[in-house]
Amino acid sequence: MKNGNLEQFLDTGWYMEAELYYRGYVYWCEGCTDSKTQETTFFVDCWRADCEDGKWYREYRDEANRLLDCHRAYEDTDKDMDLLKKRFLQAPIFNGKSFWQVEEDIIWVDPGEPIRIHNHA
């Protein structure tokens, strides 16, 4: 993983509003837990990144404030966070490949910041 610490991502980043960039697309990872059922829903939304000015954009909206060119790439619900994480890491979300198949090429990015490609030790 570039621009981020893999251990930190695997600990909490995968479900805490992480933005990942892979081959021209942004993957927005987020999870939320229902306090009544104690079930966590984890999802990944995906859209094409616009990098003409060296920055990516979190979302595109039309005049009615609706998201454009965004699709749900993955969604799963479970009470067991370990199972949720395991299934996410194995799912073919990233252009038909799993997280582990593309981990070395994924860039963990900050909203509106230039995509800088460097590794953190």
What pLDDT tens digit does each residue of the chain (121 aa) get?
A: 988 899 999 998 898 889 898 988 889 999 999 999 999 999 999 987 765 555 555 555 566 666 567 789 999 999 999 999 999 999 999 999 999 999 999 999 876 666 665 544 4
Tokens in use for 68?
């454009």
In the prediction, which pLDDT does 50 show?
63
Tokens in use for 117?
């490609």
- For residue 76, the cross-strand partners are 42
Whole-structure pTM over 0.85, yes or no? no
